[in-house]
Amino acid sequence: MRTLKYLLQKEFRQIFRDPSILRLIFIMPVIQLIILPFAADYEIKNIKLAVIDHDHSSYSRNLIAKIASSGYFILTNYTGSYSEAMGKLEHDKADLILEVPVSFEKELVKESESKLFLAVNAINGVKAGLGSAYLRSIIQDYNKEVRTEWIQFPRFDPETNIAVTYSNWFNPSMNYKIFMVPGILVLLLTMVGANLTAINIVREKEIGTIEQINVTPVSKVHFILGKLIPFWILGLAVFTLGLGIARLFYGITPAGNMMTVYVFAAVYLLAVLGLGLLISTYADNQQQAMLISFFLMMIFILLGGLYTSIDSMPSWAKAITKANPVSYFIEVIRMVVLKGSGLADIKSQLLTISGFAIVLNGWAILNYHKRS
């Protein structure tokens, strides 16, 4: 223990001696956590809509007014020519085209049904899918308003309607920030922890101090623990700072016990830091360590379940997510913060991450070779 104490003193002095590392550890995650949730918005707004109105009736005008007042669409072109509207779509001046036929009002009143044509610019698949879904929802809502109005007239037979009342559990206001901020905090914690430890041993190699340590009787276990523990403590400090920002800037108050999150975060950091140390034992210089770390971070981010649901991924991608520690922590922090889950609810994820921590740190210890 005395040997480990001296190694920890050395590591903390080395960390606090370099102000750039402290800025990287604390200031960078704070700025990113404040800015990124505002940009990572699942809602699509300001969708440019071109309308081709061949009918020019009161029904078509009311429909267009309802769409324009929804807050999701910007009416960029109102014309009677399909070719003109398509030109707007081809030149990215319109995202959707809504064409109202000549007999829209006539067919709606006499036949009780009418058709609309919708063309969508699907280059941006997400925007196209959500934009068309918003528009169909508004049209369906308008259709209900018209039918409700008609029921008041005796010549129309009232139809049976089934009303659905729903409630949003765990996130009643459907605020995407409550959903995104915990996940972004996990990614930032992972990037800081893995990158710093990945370049830690490599930095010792480049400046030559690793040779001085190798000729001492310090064991490999003490050496790895001396590299691991300081960043584990700093990682928990960054995590605490991130939770404070989440509460101060976004008003996110966890529904569950915070000790549950801290228990999982402590084990998770051991796994992530162990991965960084493992990378550093293989890399010969900081550039190699950073490139390997960047490669793994891209996989962790894209297959972590933050931006796309894991359930919607193909089977081969789901198999990869089983080996992705980020996916487990994102799931757990959302369960605790939004649902109020406890340790009993996350025991399977906790056991899996504990396995990651044991394997990665054990691998790093075995792979580190002392050279005389």
Average confidence (pLDDT) over 149-158:
57
Higher pLDDT among residues 158 and 243, named by residue: 243
pLDDT in tens, 45-55: 889 999 999 98
Burial of 92 from C-beta contacts in 10 A (0-12 / 13-18 / 19+):
exposed
pLDDT in tens, 179-193: 889 999 999 999 888
- Three-state DSSP state, 35: helix
Which of the four pLDDT bands, split at 50, 70 and 90, describes residue 227?
confident
Q: Is the pLDDT of residue 314 over 50?
A: yes
| pLDDT of 237 | 93
pLDDT in tens, 282-303: 888 888 888 999 899 999 988 9
Q: Is the pLDDT of residue 102 over 50?
A: yes
Choose among 334, 360, 363: nearest CA to 268. 360
Query: Which residues contact residue 99 at a Cβ distance below 8 angstroms, ignoring those fewer than 6 apart?
Result: 51, 52, 54, 82, 85, 116, 117, 118, 119
| pLDDT of 219 | 82
Which of the four pLDDT bands, split at 50, 70 and 90, describes residue 358?
very high
Q: Does the predicted model carry a pTM greater than 0.85?
A: no
| pLDDT of 12 | 84
| pLDDT of 162 | 57
| pLDDT of 328 | 95
Residue limits of CATH 3.40.1710.10 in the chain = 47-151
**CA pair distance 319, 302, nearest whole angstrom:** 14
Asked if 343 contacts 260 with a C-beta cutoff of 8 angstroms, the reply is yes
Q: What is the identity of the amino acid at 13?
A: R
What is the average pLDDT value for the chain, to the nearest integer? 85
| pLDDT of 197 | 86
**CA pair distance 314, 331, nearest whole angstrom:** 19
So what CATH class is 47-151? alpha beta
Any alpha helices (H) in 69-175, and if so which ranges?
A: 82-90, 104-110, 125-151
Asked if 54 contacts 66 with a C-beta cutoff of 8 angstroms, the reply is no
pLDDT in tens, 28-51: 888 889 988 887 766 778 899 999
pLDDT in tens, 253-277: 888 899 999 999 999 999 999 999 8
Percent of the chain with pLDDT over 70: 94
Which of the four pLDDT bands, split at 50, 70 and 90, describes residue 8?
confident
| pLDDT of 163 | 60
| pLDDT of 372 | 43
Average confidence (pLDDT) over 161-169:
68
Q: Is the pLDDT of residue 157 over 80?
A: no
Angle made by CA atoms 184, 123, 48, in degrees to the nearest 5: 85
pLDDT in tens, 53-68: 998 888 899 999 999 8
Percent of the chain with pLDDT over 90: 33
